[in-house]
Amino acid sequence: MFICGYHFPADMGNDVSFDKVIEKIEDGLDAAGKTVTLTSETREGQLLETIEVAEGSFAHKALVDYFNNTEVEEKNGFKMVYYTNKYQISEISKSVDGEATKDLCKKLDDMNLYRVKVA
């Protein structure tokens, strides 16, 4: 089972605890002081909005980890966030960040495309 890009043993099934995922993401990660910017766009490439992700939130840490560790090619300083990853980040963030990322998570659950930049 892959969650947020990390492999978990098959015997854990589809019920990997969020704590295990958070632990993997935070292991060795230095996200402090980094700015995470998401852009949303339509399938046709029309830019819809630019979103700043709250520092210290799980979503912030997960997107820094994704940007640093994904093999997705960087284009103009951004990397595409694929559907599975954005949904998984959203689900965990809803649970642990609550109101801090509520609006962000609602957006990540849509069908638009997202790119992430970490500076």
CA atoms of 36 and 54, how far apart (whole Å): 8
Confidence of residue 1 (pLDDT cuts 50, 70, 90): low
CA atoms of 67 and 115, how far apart (whole Å): 10
Residues in contact with 103: Cβ distance below 8 Å, sequence separation at least 6, in sequence order? none
Predicted confidence (pLDDT) per residue in 32-50, tens digit: 999 999 999 988 889 999 9
CATH of region 2-118: 3.30.70
Global model pTM greater than 0.75 = yes
Predicted confidence (pLDDT) per residue in 5-38, tens digit: 877 888 887 778 889 899 999 998 999 999 999 9
Q: What percent of the chain has pLDDT above 70?
A: 99
Tokens representing residue 42 in the block: 């339509």
